[in-house]
Structure 1
Amino acid sequence: MTPPGGFEPESERVTRQLRDQIIDGARAPGSRLVERELAAELGVSRLPIREALRDLVTEGLVTPRPRTWAVVREFTPTDIADLDEVRTALETLTFRLAAQRRTRAGLAKLRADLDAELSAAHEGDAVRARRAAADFHETVTSLADNELLNELGGTLRSRMRWLLGQHDDLVEVAEEHENLYEAIADRDVPRVEELVMKHLVTSRAAARRKHTRE
């Protein structure tokens, strides 16, 4: 996302472009990221490319190779299981706190994320729907109003957005988010906890199906 005022340092712009391409699936797992080739493709010098690749390694989306290239990370079944375990623990707490602490302004932002996701899902726009779904989860984290959860979310943000994109059932996921939104709006904590567990099962099964096909 471009900062307010419109200025974005070149290295951050390159990082954002490459991050989006990886999370959206435009750059396949295992594909080469060569500094010279990326610099020509994106119309920049090799320095911002080098900085971007270093940042994406830190974010867990890229695997470094010797000298001047890297590859898009290939998440193994073990990687995905590890992410899922962490997600399960964090989201169970996050959604519960969000239901308890949500504000009117926060709820309005969550509704806007949900509407964007529903619209994209019904139009079959997978990239836009998955991005909006990830936005929905990040807004829930902000509603939880816990600084440590926000810090953990920032550390894991790119990998979690990747994990949240591992589903093809766009409408089903959006409808599950709508049910979660309504429970949060009603401050119905037991209902939120029930729906979160169902949502995690749906996501886990979708990721398993996708990676079995691949």
Structure 2
Amino acid sequence: MSGGGAVAGAGEFEPESVRVAQVVREQIVDGTRAPGSRLVERDLAAELGVSRIPVRDALRALAAEGLVTPRPRSWAVVREFSDADVAHLQEVREATDPLHFRLAALRRTPEQLAALTEAWERESAAAGRGDAVAARRAGADFHEAVVRAAGNPVLAELHAVTASRVRWLLAQHTDLTRMADEHRALLDAVRDGDAEAAARLAGEHLRTSRAEAAGRGG
């Protein structure tokens, strides 16, 4: 799941429902659509210039990802994450993120390292110019690149279940420079192949993330 709303290239077929889901997903993660706001099939279809069928399919997909709550008939609402929801997500990340980074340090390919570096560079540049949306998206891309670099398909499958909710959680961060700096330290550990340092730094990074999430909306 990639941030930035990439459009399929020439000759590629992307179902309308995938495009609609991507647009609405990013609006939810970026905060454009507020928690609790209504997602009505008819209105979304008119807004995005599609029929109601791909909108219906997109809302089902987003419900499965945990970003929206379906309602009877033809609408849904943007999920309102409770403190307990956030705590549960953080518990899962505390179990998996250090493993992601440990394995990435041991297994990353040159191409995967380049992808990690590119995501961090985008995040750092966006943080430097105060572009919160771009910085948060790039930071989430960085974490997803680490999952790929870990080279464990079962771990990747487990991450896919919570990937959209984790992107939402990462989008609650407000200290963009600190996040980029911590990602730089993690990138260095992965580049150096230092699995122990990568896992340790991941644990420290999670404590920062937990503190940021605790202050959301404040």
**Counterpart in the other structure of 2:29:** 23
**Post-superposition CA distance 1:33-76 (Å, at most 9, x none):** 11111111112111111111111100100001111111000000
Does residue 185 of structure 2 align to residue 179 of structure 1?
A: yes
Equivalent pair of 2:20/2:58 in contact (CA under 8 Å) = yes
Q: Secondary structure at 2:76's aligned position in 1?
A: strand
Distance in 1, matches of 2:48 and 2:190, equals 42
**Counterpart in the other structure of 2:124:** 118
**Counterpart in the other structure of 1:82:** 88
**Counterpart in the other structure of 1:2:** 7
**Counterpart in the other structure of 1:203:** 209
| Code of the aligned partner of 1:197 | G
CA drift at 1:6:
4.2
Q: Secondary structure at 1:210's aligned position in 2?
A: coil
Does residue 96 of structure 2 align to residue 96 of structure 1?
A: no
**Post-superposition CA distance 1:96-136 (Å, at most 9, x none):** 11111122221111111110110001011111111100110
CA RMSD of aligned residues (A): 1.1
CA drift at 1:2:
3.1
Moved over 4 A (4+): none
| Code of the aligned partner of 2:57 | E
| Code of the aligned partner of 1:83 | L
TM-score, normalisation: structure 1: 0.95
Does residue 167 of structure 2 align to residue 161 of structure 1?
A: yes
| Code of the aligned partner of 1:119 | A
Distance in 2, matches of 1:148 and 1:88, equals 17
**Counterpart in the other structure of 1:44:** 50
| Code of the aligned partner of 2:59 | L
| Code of the aligned partner of 1:117 | E
| Code of the aligned partner of 1:107 | L
Distance in 2, matches of 1:62 and 1:106, equals 32
**Long gaps (5+) in structure 2:** 1-5
TM-score, normalisation: structure 2: 0.94
Count of aligned pairs between the two proteins: 212
Identity %: 57
Distance in 1, matches of 2:95 and 2:85, equals 16
